[in-house]
Amino acid sequence: MTVAPPLAPPPRLLMGPGPITADPRVLRAMSAQLVGQYDPWMTATMTETMGLYRQVFRTDNEQTFLVDGTSRAGIEAALVSLLEPGDRVLVPVFGRFGHLLVEIAERCRAEVHTVEVPWGEVVPAELVEEAVVRVRPKLVAVVQGDTSTTMCQPLAEIGEVCRRHDTLLYVDATASLGGNPFETDAWGIDVATAGLQKCLGGPSGSAPITISDAAAALIASRKRVEAGIREAGDDDAEAGRTTATIASNYLDLAQVMDYWGPRRLNHHTEATTMLYGARECARLLVEEGLDAAVERHRLHGEAMLAGVRGLGLSVFGDVAHKMHNVVAVEIPDGIDGDAARGAMLTDFGIEIGTSFGPLHGRVWRIGTMGWNARTDAVLTTLACLEQVLRAGGASVVPGAGVAAAREVYAG
Amino acid sequence: MTVAPPLAPPPRLLMGPGPITADPRVLRAMSAQLVGQYDPWMTATMTETMGLYRQVFRTDNEQTFLVDGTSRAGIEAALVSLLEPGDRVLVPVFGRFGHLLVEIAERCRAEVHTVEVPWGEVVPAELVEEAVVRVRPKLVAVVQGDTSTTMCQPLAEIGEVCRRHDTLLYVDATASLGGNPFETDAWGIDVATAGLQKCLGGPSGSAPITISDAAAALIASRKRVEAGIREAGDDDAEAGRTTATIASNYLDLAQVMDYWGPRRLNHHTEATTMLYGARECARLLVEEGLDAAVERHRLHGEAMLAGVRGLGLSVFGDVAHKMHNVVAVEIPDGIDGDAARGAMLTDFGIEIGTSFGPLHGRVWRIGTMGWNARTDAVLTTLACLEQVLRAGGASVVPGAGVAAAREVYAG
């Protein structure tokens, strides 16, 4: 028998691309004791949480709830519930998470088409429209904010393209929601998913999702009620189906909608503590006001951008299309990127991010999001990064990073 | 804008079939602040958690970790990663959760065969062996403890049957692990999954899993590394595959093994707060000692059983094969089962369970598990149930339930 000591995480300021330091109020809400899954208080709280996320997603969609898993579970739930084998899907790819949509859609046995642009750019709407006309997809699936490149894909025009050609639109808003403008209804988005661990200021493990009435009807047409809890009427409702059964049970949104909806049909056992956390993330965001939260992310992102430039560093990608909440900083010549990140962590308790694929070793990714979109977090990170750069042999004007950020704050 | 009030769950003693009241020490561990997912402390904590769950599952399996979702996510991860389309699987069914295994295996496009016994019984090993000989399945998938009937399926002999006929054995131990004997290695179980919300005393949302070397090799043979994070060598490793790619990305155990293993290949973003909770559940169980925890569940289950009988109630099913941690109590004639459950909740803050399918309206399910396998929880529940029964018009000997339970405690 090997007993482990009580949990004692080291103090960290998480300034990477996410997960980030959770808002202590979210952690406090998550420490509340459990209530049974069909307790009237619990079902009322689930319904209330749906209302809060309608405000976060800016939508009237009845079907707005949580998938019990990380943001990736939300993505797969959306794709596996929307796509039948052989369906055509178009994925505009501008970074790693576009590739993830391709990967997941392929596992749904969809016929996947892509339009790609180089990392550091966003996809022009005309390119998407040209491909929609050519491919005639059932679904366009696109990432809003791809942390691998920091780019924030404009979506309003893609929404128009999809409406014009009667195509469904799915958006992965994991990295962007709450920190950048997002309009489910105004932009004509059918399904959007997110996670808590970025601008929402919570821990990973719950995936908010919203589904338009049209998409919900399509998903419901594939519903199959489980043996063991089937009731009179389920056979009739499912008779004569031509749709393929959804390939997953756990991520079957038809079943999950029935669990959150008035029928309250048993499916999984709701992850109550994650629900508490997700509710608190949305509650705080709504209390602050969505516009104010986006503006806060804009301001601190701007300050961090000015700060790293003040330190003499270059920034990767099309900065005009950068997400508010993360910046990709080019690692200066002569500096060992991983050693510098190690020094930030070991000497200062601050985490900044490494990179994937073509950017690996070329850029650090520095986030300012959720609870950490704060002046002290930005200035402390810049102050410590200056020390690490200098220790690594880079020539830095003393105080120039912090000073540049302060100028942004001074307006 | 509609702002919701701060979270304030009502006090509840959860004495149903799970989820149950979480151990406050687990909730406290879950309130710890986050650390980055590749922080040396985080990866060390993940490795430590693997070791703790090896002790809980009684196994030497290297591949012992957490799936980020509820217990149902663990079940589906196991089945979708083991089963290829067309594979034959045999499911011994003795309650609702056997039907769930059938349902999930069907969605994996496996060829599913069952052996069924009436609710309230367990499946004789001879019946399983006869079917294994007839069907020649790749996998036998069986529930250990099915809360729908309270039965605890004996597994040692089924393990022998599977060894004898060279068949893989998967066990869903969600409802039973930690409260009933469970021996992964000694019983020859290849893959087992669980959840936190039963005898482990935590909230739903993390699914511990253990995988034998043979099963892990089979799963790894289906591995496909995602585009976007592929490295030199991945193409070679995947060339000439005859196995089908795993149909899920999120629940692809080949990828999840690489995430928890030395390669630390990026997959999902670990649900850190749930990891903290899962680690604390296992830590407390190992500290108490697995045998002691099982004995505690036996004792309090025995006391609850004696108590409900002392109240003049009958118990459903083959009591010799009942799980330690839940009892199905027949609702007496003349008592409205749902009204009585409502009175328990409203007047006393105690939740007891309703039932599914053929038992709906016939039995209540009363649990004594995890944190609530305690004398005061048992005696309080019996005291309050006596009041509710009397108020409903049942004839009850005053104090007889509590007295019968006390006799068990007195030895």
Cα dist from A185 to A61, A95, A161, A213, A338, whole Å? 8, 25, 15, 11, 42
Task: Work out whether strand B151-152 and strand B139-143 pair parallel, antiparallel, or are unpaired.
Answer: unpaired
Would the CB atoms of B270 and A2 count as touching at under 8 Å? no
Would the CB atoms of A227 and B103 count as touching at under 8 Å? yes
Interface residue B288 vs chain A (CB under 8 A): no
Contact A345, A175 (CB under 8 A): no
Among chain B residues, CA nearest to A287: B3
Minimum distance, in Å, between the CA of residue A125 and any CA atom of chain B: 23
Residues 6+ apart with CB under 8 A from A267: A226, A255, A256, A258, A259, B72
Residues 6+ apart with CB under 8 A from A241: A221, A222
Residue B159: which H helix or E strand, with range?
Answer: helix B156-164
Cα dist from B19 to A150, A215, B114, B175, B212, whole Å? 40, 32, 28, 10, 28
User: Which residue, B194, B191, B156, is CA-closest to B73?
Assistant: B194
Using an 8 Å CB-CB cutoff, list chain A residues near B30.
Answer: 27, 30-31, 273
Distance separating alpha carbons of residues A312 and B368, to the nearest angstrom: 63
Among chain A residues, CA nearest to B15: A36
Beta bridge partners of B141: B170
Would the CB atoms of A76 and B250 count as touching at under 8 Å? yes
Would the CB atoms of B27 and A273 count as touching at under 8 Å? yes
Q: Name residues of chain A where pLDDT drops below 50.
A: none
Distance separating alpha carbons of residues A135 and A112, to the nearest angstrom: 10
- Whether B185 shows a pLDDT value over 70: the answer reads yes
A171-180, B236-245, B354-363, B387-396: which has the minimum mean pLDDT? B236-245
Among chain A residues, CA nearest to B195: A269
User: Which residue, B363, B108, B400, B364, is CA-closest to B251?
Assistant: B108
Interface probe, candidates A198, A204, A272, A365, chain B, greatest B C-beta count within 10 A: A204
Residue B115 dihedral angles phi and psi, to the nearest 5°: -120, 130
Higher-pLDDT residue of B244 and B295 is B295
3-state secondary structure of A77: helix
Would the CB atoms of A228 and B266 count as touching at under 8 Å? no
Minimum distance, in Å, between the CA of residue B311 and any CA atom of chain A: 25
Residue type at B12? Answer: R
Nearest CB partner across the interface for B270, out of A33, A204, A269:
A204
Would the CB atoms of A273 and B35 count as touching at under 8 Å? no
Among chain A residues, CA nearest to B27: A31
Diameter over CA atoms, chain A: 75
Residue type at B69? Answer: G
Nearest CB partner across the interface for A250, out of B76, B229, B271:
B76
pLDDT at B219: 97
pLDDT at A62: 98
Average pLDDT rounded to a whole number, residues B43-63: 98
Using an 8 Å CB-CB cutoff, list chain A residues near B51.
Answer: 2, 4
Interface residue B12 vs chain A (CB under 8 A): yes
Confidence tier at B240 by pLDDT (50, 70, 90):
confident
Interface residue B60 vs chain A (CB under 8 A): no
Distance separating alpha carbons of residues A78 and A96, to the nearest angstrom: 18
Would the CB atoms of A228 and B204 count as touching at under 8 Å? no
Would the CB atoms of A286 and B4 count as touching at under 8 Å? yes
Contact B397, B313 (CB under 8 A): no
Distance separating alpha carbons of residues A226 and A60, to the nearest angstrom: 29
User: Per the structure block, which two tokens stand in for A218?
Assistant: 């399509």
E-strand ranges in A332-384 read: 350-351, 363-367
Question: Average per-residue pLDDT in chain B?
Answer: 96
Minimum distance, in Å, between the CA of residue B241 and any CA atom of chain A: 16
Would you give the distance in Å from CA A43 to the centre of its chain? 26
Q: What is the dihedral of CA A329, A333, A337, A341, to 10 degrees?
A: -70
Nearest CB partner across the interface for B204, out of A19, A38, A272:
A272
Average pLDDT rounded to a whole number, residues B241-245: 82
Cα dist from B397 to A280, B311, B312, B334, whole Å? 47, 7, 8, 17
The ipTM estimated for the assembled molecules is 0.97
Return residues 322-361 of B near A (CB < 8 Å). 345, 351, 354, 356-357
pLDDT at B124: 98
Minimum distance, in Å, between the CA of residue B164 and any CA atom of chain A: 31
User: Per the structure block, which two tokens stand in for A15?
Assistant: 């300034």
Average pLDDT rounded to a whole number, residues B42-61: 98
Would the CB atoms of B31 and A31 count as touching at under 8 Å? yes
Interface residue A45 vs chain B (CB under 8 A): yes
User: Which residue, B97, B175, B179, B184, is CA-closest to B141?
Assistant: B97
Using an 8 Å CB-CB cutoff, list chain A residues near B231.
Answer: none
Cα dist from A288 to A378, B38, B280, whole Å? 20, 31, 34
Residues 6+ apart with CB under 8 A from A396: A311, A312, A386, A389, A390
Contact A250, A83 (CB under 8 A): no
Would the CB atoms of B228 and A195 count as touching at under 8 Å? no
Highest mean pLDDT among A258-267, B60-69, B240-249: B60-69
Using an 8 Å CB-CB cutoff, list chain A residues near B272.
Answer: 19, 203-205
pLDDT at A237: 78
pLDDT at A1: 65
Minimum distance, in Å, between the CA of residue A371 and any CA atom of chain B: 12
pLDDT at B135: 98
Place of tokens 């529940």: B381
Return residues 78-107 of A near B (CB < 8 Å). 80, 96-97, 99-100, 102-104, 107
Would you give the distance in Å from CA A256 to the centre of its chain? 20
- Output the DSSP codes for A8-57: -PPP-EE-SSSS-PPPHHHHHHHTSPP--TT-HHHHHHHHHHHHHHHHHH
Minimum distance, in Å, between the CA of residue B70 and any CA atom of chain A: 7
Among chain B residues, CA nearest to A26: B31
Would the CB atoms of A268 and B72 count as touching at under 8 Å? yes
Place of tokens 């005898």: B199
Burial category of A411 from C-beta neighbours within 10 Å (exposed 0-12, middle 13-18, buried 19 and up): exposed
Would the CB atoms of B357 and A228 count as touching at under 8 Å? yes
Would you give the distance in Å from CA A40 to the centre of its chain? 31
Interface probe, candidates A7, A72, A372, chain B, greatest B C-beta count within 10 A: A7
Cα dist from A200 to A35, B134, B273, B305, B349, whole Å? 24, 54, 15, 46, 33
Tens of pLDDT along B251-306? 999 999 999 999 999 899 999 999 999 999 999 999 999 999 999 999 999 999 99
Minimum distance, in Å, between the CA of residue B363 and any CA atom of chain A: 16
Using an 8 Å CB-CB cutoff, list chain A residues near B109.
Answer: 247
Residues in chain A: 411
